Structure 1
Amino acid sequence: MSMELFRENLSRNVTPIPSNETCAETVSEAMQRRYGDLRNAAKRVSRARGWSVKAFKNWFYGMNAPRMQDLIVLMADCPELEKKVGQMVEETRKCLQQSKL
């Protein structure tokens, strides 16, 4: 029992930096809500934004996270994604401030 408490205390001291997988999942969830009902979404959106269909599908299905410039475009087009990324930034900022050296 005390070992479990010790592990919990250790995990609280570790800065929770979002992993690439977490970022890809966050983008994917927002994109599916935004574009999921759009017929031929991958072709239509990628052509309109200058992305490859393969890149769009990778983001849509959470296989990869977009590059910064593409993420900014997605956030501009999807307020929900912008809000979620902002929350992730704030959570990380709070953890970093708590663990100042």
Structure 2
Amino acid sequence: MEISRFNLSPKSHASMVTNEQCIETVSGALQARYGELRNAAKRVSRSRGWTVKAFTNWLYGKNAPRMHDLIVLMADDPALESRIKEMVQETRECLHLQQYRQ
């Protein structure tokens, strides 16, 4: 059986990583890294080719970056990369538990 977010039990789905947690993780990492930098949104976005609005939205947790932008952020920030890897491992464990219950 293929595992998706639609066929997981409510109990296992509750322990899975949510979109909100992903947004909070990225936002927290960006704030920790760039929060004290004057004009951080302008500086970082221009150096990476992003719009200031997009980076500002990521910085303040309004939305998450696209996959290829997330990879760039992870490459630039080892702490973010580490946290994302932890979230992947947590999700993997939830999926394995669900698979063994069926």
- CA shift at 1:39, angstroms? 1.1
Query: C-alpha distance in 2, partners of 1:20/1:14?
Result: 15
Q: Under a length normalisation based on structure 1, what TM-score does the superposition of the two structures give?
A: 0.84
Report how many residues are paired: 91
Are the aligned partners of 2:16 and 2:90 in contact in 1 as well (CA < 8 Å)? Answer: no
Query: C-alpha distance in 2, partners of 1:94/1:80?
Result: 21
The aligned residue for residue 14 of structure 1 is 12
- CA shift at 1:97, angstroms? 0.6
Q: Secondary structure at the match of 1:39?
A: coil
2:18 pairs with 1:23: no
- CA shift at 1:22, angstroms? 1.1
CA RMSD after TM alignment:
1.4
Structure 1 runs not aligned, ≥5 long: 1-9
Are the aligned partners of 2:26 and 2:61 in contact in 1 as well (CA < 8 Å)? Answer: yes
Query: C-alpha distance in 2, partners of 1:93/1:20?
Result: 16
Identical aligned pairs, as a percentage? 62
Larger Rg: 1
Q: Secondary structure at the match of 2:17?
A: coil
Structure 1 residue ranges, 4+ long, deviating more than 4 angstroms after superposition: none
Cα shift readout 1:5-29 (whole Å, capped 9, x = no counterpart): xxxxx86x41333222111100000
